[in-house]
Structure 1
Amino acid sequence: MGAVVFLLIFEVNHLDESHPNLTCEYCGEQFNSTNNFNEHKVSTCQKISVECLLKDFGCNERIIRANMKEHYMTEQHQKSLSKCIRQFLSHDSDRRIDTGCPRTTTESYNPDTIQFEELHGALNILVGGIEALANDAQRLSNESLQAQVTLQTLEEQLPGLKLSMEESNGFLQGVNCNLDILKQDFTSLQEKVNDLQCVSYDGTFIWKITNVKEKMMDAQSERQTSIYSPPFYSSPNGYKMRARLYLNGDGNARRTHMSMFFVLMRSVNDQILKFPFNYKVTFCLYDRTPAQRHIIDSFRPDIKSSSFQRPRTDMNIASGIPKFFPLEMIQQEGNPYVRDDTMFIKILVDFGDTPKTLLPYVLSLNPGLPTHVQQTLIKREVERREQQQSDKQLQPPKE
């Protein structure tokens, strides 16, 4: 016997001395001792596959030792654990029946028996909890599978939704662009409607200019140096015209006078009209007080100027009176020409060559009177002045 022990010790020592640096085929760790190598494989190697402790109760899976904690949470292991506990409880009950252990009183129980009964109850509760957890795990697994199917369906639908959103965004951008164009068209149309509401067809036009203070500031800052009146006509089939006003002056009159100009515009009847345009144009800035000291000035077109030839574009170059009215007067507080931040300018194209001395009378007539009534009054005034002049000539000279 002593000889056998000696041989075993010799063999172990021989292996340790003759075969050092043993390597684990699972994790690659090296050992210089056979005992350490064997202990590593049996209990510590995390990459070796081992059998579940509940193999005898149906858990036959081999598991990498590092994954053992995850395995304990699997449904298969939980079921095997429940089976193990049930068998244990069943064997305990059978043992009690076989030994005739009394259960009616607690007096015959020793402390170990009482503790065993408590453990028995705890195990019953644990079995119920494990079954509930297993059912919940199965339910969650089913819900997870359903969620994965739903997620996959949504992922398949996502490219289509993205494409639809891109198309919708493109459509909305197109709608917004068209809306901006429509707004511009509407503004332009509204301006034309407003112009048509105050259009004139007798060669005269009374231009109402509002927000004078703001427009003066715009002109001084050069945000908008000039403003245009609405178009008006000499007759329903006649010349188309408008006025242009520089509130802070133009050219040599800048910052000293308001500049007033006449603009000949292209119309549908230009082919039958006579050019160059050769009719006197008069401007009148109304005095809004009973004194009626209107500012009146006229000019006759230069027929050699391109401003009065047949228009080839929407408007000819403006021409008129650069120094129409001193800015110093219009800027005075309480001046009679700007009231309620508004002023009125009348543009009169004289097709009858009205005498200059008659202009103050013509411009003082009530603009609210019909045109034919104004013409009648002008004719009477002309006749009255002619008669007055004739009477003066018939009077004998004073001695």
Structure 2
Amino acid sequence: MLRSPPPSHSAEQNSSIDQGFDLPWEDGRVDKRYECPICLLVQRNPVQTSCGHRYCRACIYAWIRESPLCPTCNSALGTSKMFTDLIAEREIMSLRVKCSNEGCTQTFELANSESHNEKCLFRLVPCPNGCPNLLRRRSLDNHMANLCLLRVKVCEHCSEEVKAEDLPDHLNKCRELQISCELCGCRVQRSELMSHRESVCAKVIIPCCYSRFGCTERMQRQNLPSHYAACVHEHLQLVSQHVSILESQMRPSVASHRPASARLPQQLSFDSPYVTSDLIDTDPIKTAAPGGTAALLNEASDLAAQLVDAKRTIERLTSTVQQQTQKISSLERKIREIDGRHCNGVFYWQVNNYMDYKQTLLQGSTPVLHSPGFYSSFYGYKMCIRLNPNGIEQGSGTHVSVFLHFMKGENDALLRWPFKGKIVLSILDLISPDGCQQHIVDFLSSKPDLAAFRRPTSNRNHKGFGYLEFAPISVIEKGNYVKDNTLVVKAVIECEDESLIA
């Protein structure tokens, strides 16, 4: 029978001593002979007494400090009467246990418990960066690389090292960060934003450079070229007025320095003996006082230089406007080309201001409309739609004529000619509700013997293929096919063989 030790402070000490093993055993429980009678756990460092009982070393040594009697049989005990039970220790250390870390399903001998725990991926460990999180070892790398607020990150803009939790504040003031100009939307470094607005930003409001001559216009920088081009005469007039004002300011100064000869009566004869050569010379520049002459010459020289600069500025701006206009036209063509490539053989052509062509008919002209070019696929055939709103030949005046024309494309040398396939042309019903629409649809099958389907030799084949009488004009204008003065023509291209020549 186990005796309770005498009252003492041992209860407090037992909480800190190394008692027996309290582990999840593989078999659920362990043989009672391995149980320590003091702590009731599996014996750790088992010690056998002279009376034949076995205890945890820490438990029995703590016991005999308070009582010299065996807790099981009351026999006298002493440290000299106890020895380590190596056989029992070997048996206990060979017992199999389950990993105590939640989520881990491994089992192992008790002897390997510490080594497993040191590398167990499910063990809770503190973050090495010092953040307050406890996490499983298997999540540690991801936490350190992506989640820890105390991990060090390098700003991708300025290469400065900052803690992850401080990165948002750093980005709000990073001078190398690309930010959007609030006016024009351009991306510039924060450190260069002011200089961007002072010299580059297209939407900053600035005065006309002729403001010194009296132009009061203020506009966005991007509108300056068009303003200069539209106001050439006004600017020249302002410069001319400025010159006139300066000339009027010069005349009193010159007149005040004229010699007396300039104010002599006209009837005074130059043959008079009282008139000498120095009185006859009335050139205001020559006769002006020395100081006044220099000032007038300098001011006249400045005016001439200003006029030359103004002329050069106008010429330069005119050239810039022409270049920008050419660039814009080139970009618009490229954009239309890209849009045509991505339609993938299904093209919608919006014919705006359709009813306005009636007026051109009243004036005696026959309008012919061509759609932007489009492709059957990204690397396919290029073509366009031709529309004659008043028809041609036997359809003239009664029907709308619709044709398809092949155009020169970037990949013509790699495509197989003549074109073989089917083409579906439609004029869409834009007003009827879904499910009730009555589109005007017709089909075309390629005829390789016709010139219309051969490889183009000009920008657009002169020969087209389609219908002289595609749809009655009365049906188009009075039906559901024109909405908001817009007609929509649809083309669907189905190629038999669009593979490129290898």
Q: TM-score, normalised by structure 2?
A: 0.37
Q: Which has the higher contact order (CA 8 A, sep 6+)?
A: 1
Say which one has the larger Rg: 1
